[in-house]
Amino acid sequence: MNNEWLDTVVDARRDATARIVVLDLVRPDAVEFPEFEAGAHVDVLVDDADGLVRQYSLCGPPHDRTRYRLAVLAETASRGGSLGMHRLRKGDRLRISRPRNRFGISGEARRHLLVAGGIGVTPLLAMAHALEASGAEYELHYCARSRGDSAFLDELEHNPRVRLHFDDGPDDQRFGSATDVGRPDPHTAIYVCGPGGFMDFVISSALAAGWPAEAIHKERFAPVEDADAHKAGGAFRVRLARTGGEYGIEEGQSVLDVLLAHGVDAPYSCQQGICGECIVRVLAGEPDHRDDILTDRERADGMFTTCSSRALSPILELDL
């Protein structure tokens, strides 16, 4: 993992809901944080001893470099990441990476439609802050099971550009793709984040209504396929263009697994095909894309995720 870790201190902690904790981080030396663009996330070293790293979106105003804000949902099937974050208290120290972003605001759109499900509001909240500050046209649709499950209501419910949708509320305020997403508009970009089923519904509804895939921007917190699906498939070989190294990839191995085992300095972070840190370019061969982050255009341009994708050809040549 190619991280330059930043030391931080928990300056404030509050329980936004029974399952969501909001953490404000500051630098112990009082210097400013690196700049970030709305939609960015950081790696968090939750457990240094075990090397447990998780990714969390920055949800505070991007112009405020004095602190980074994270909101973390306590997952019932947590492998230690979210529960470790919930145990943090004011004054605790935490190491994070510099921000990275593959979910930024489109520079081509005139209007921005933000659709959040549950904890998926975190990167979209930062986008709303940035769009508000720039005077851009936007709407934020925040969907949750109930008011009690919704974080940040104090700063959202009085904003005329925000629409709240609760599963247990009246029918007339529930989210509807036909009314709330609407018909395709060439000047509008859609941004979607939340649980997998919610995202699939919003995206498939938009595509069925005629929205082009290029207009829909998404960020998932978990891969569509499980890790075993990423590593299933026949054997192939990977050739590195810069060094000439060639390695066999067997079923049950990822390209990234093999490269790291042979000491190759390959980029990576989440190892699930959702953060984009491991992307490299394919110079020859036919990839079998199994990520959920690259667009069709990026795939056509030769982009490839080493942690989750495989090959349909006997050999892939990578720009490494």
The CATH homologous superfamily for domain 6-96 is: Translation factors (2.40.30.10)
Domain 227-318 = CATH 3.40.50.80: no
Tell me what pLDDT residue 224 has: 59
| Domain ranges across the chain | 6-96, 111-219, 227-318
Run means of pLDDT, 10 residues per run, the chain, 320 residues: 84 96 96 96 88 92 96 80 93 95 94 97 98 97 96 94 94 93 96 95 96 93 61 87 94 92 87 81 94 86 93 95
Its CATH class, for the domain covering 111-219, is: alpha beta
Q: What is the 3-state secondary structure (H, E, C) of the chain?
A: CCCCCEEEEEEEEEECCCCEEEEEEECCCCCCCCCCCCCCEEEEEEECCCCEEEEEECCCCCCCCCCEEEEEECCCCCCCHHHHHHCCCCCCEEEECCCECCCCCCCCCCEEEEEEEHHHHHHHHHHHHHHHHHCCEEEEEEEECCHHHCCCHHHHCCCCCEEEEECCCCHHHCCCHHHHHCCCCCCEEEEEECCHHHHHHHHHHHHHCCCCHHHEEEECCCCCCCHHHHHCCCCEEEEECCCCCEEEECCCCCHHHHHHHCCCCCCCCCCCCCCCCCEEEEEECCEECCCCCCCHHHHHCCEEECCCCEECCCEEEECC
Tell me what pLDDT residue 109 has: 97
Tell me what pLDDT residue 186 has: 96
Asked if the domains 6-96 and 227-318 are classified in one and the same CATH topology, the answer is no
